[in-house]
Amino acid sequence: MWAACFRRKGGRGQRRRTGKTPAVCLSALLLTGCTAGGNHALSPRGTLPARTSPTSTPAPPAASSPVTAPLSAQVILPSKRMVAGSTMTAHVIVDNRSGQALKVGGCGSLFQVLLTSAHVHPQPAWPSCIEPISVPVGVSKYTVSVMASYSMCDQRGPPPVCRKAGQPPPLPPGQYEATLFQIRSIAPPPPPPTIWVTQ
């Protein structure tokens, strides 16, 4: 290509460079520059533009809606403190969002609330009778008795040993949890409220 931009002088076979570059040569040089570098095009200043790779921003994960059980229960205490050996009346609130009444076989009551701790693990005692009990749609309230005493005792041992009248002894002072027990699996166990037993 450069040879086309020179011409012979006289008959000596010498080549001399002309003072001006013909337009054809300039066009050819530009064309050569365009094709020599592959598919890159020259920028107005004669430099190759930087290659940019396409980037994609991932879409944020969709917020998951919380899953709620069709039935829920809650223990409501009138006080956060009890004297050892005393009894208080509490309530269990049940919210039935299943759209239909729940039929449960029980006797007397569906719920018990017992005081538990790291050292006290009571077990509820249920009556042996069976009768149909309905948990209606919506919010319903059930009355329960909470005792600051052991739920069971033994006449001779091991501890706790029953009193002379056969009653369980009072709980030792300390921090407890008002734990909900159900005669059947009606609702997920709620977080038990804290209660303090005093002397």
pTM for the whole structure: 0.65
pLDDT, tens digit, 9 for 90 and up, residues 61-86: 544 444 567 999 999 999 999 999 99
Query: Taking the CB of residue 10, how many other CB atoms lie within 10 A of it?
Result: 7
Reported as a single tens digit per residue, the pLDDT across 90-142 is: 999 999 999 999 999 888 889 999 999 999 999 999 988 889 999 999 999 99
How many other C-beta atoms can be found within 10 angstroms of the C-beta atom of residue 77?
18
Domain boundaries, the chain: 2-36, 71-198
If you count them, how many residues does the chain have? 199
Give residue-wise pLDDT tens across range 18-33.
Answer: 444 444 433 443 334 4
| Phi (first) and psi of residue 155, to 5 degrees | -70, -35
Pairing of strands 81-83, 194-198: parallel
Cβ atoms of residues 82 and 171 within 8 Å:
no
Task: State the average pLDDT for the chain.
Answer: 78
Contact (CB, 8 A) for 175 and 116: no
Q: SS3 letters for 31-67?
A: HHHHHHCCCCCCCCCCCCCCCCCCCCCCCCCCCCCCC
Residue 144 has pLDDT above 50, yes or no: yes
Omega before 189 within 30 of 0, i.e. cis = no
What CATH number does domain 71-198 carry, 2.30.110.10, 2.60.40.10, 1.10.645.10, 3.40.1710.10? 2.60.40.10
Q: Where are the beta strands (DSSP E) in the chain?
A: 6-9, 14-17, 71-76, 81-83, 87-96, 102-106, 111-116, 131-135, 138-147, 174-182, 194-198
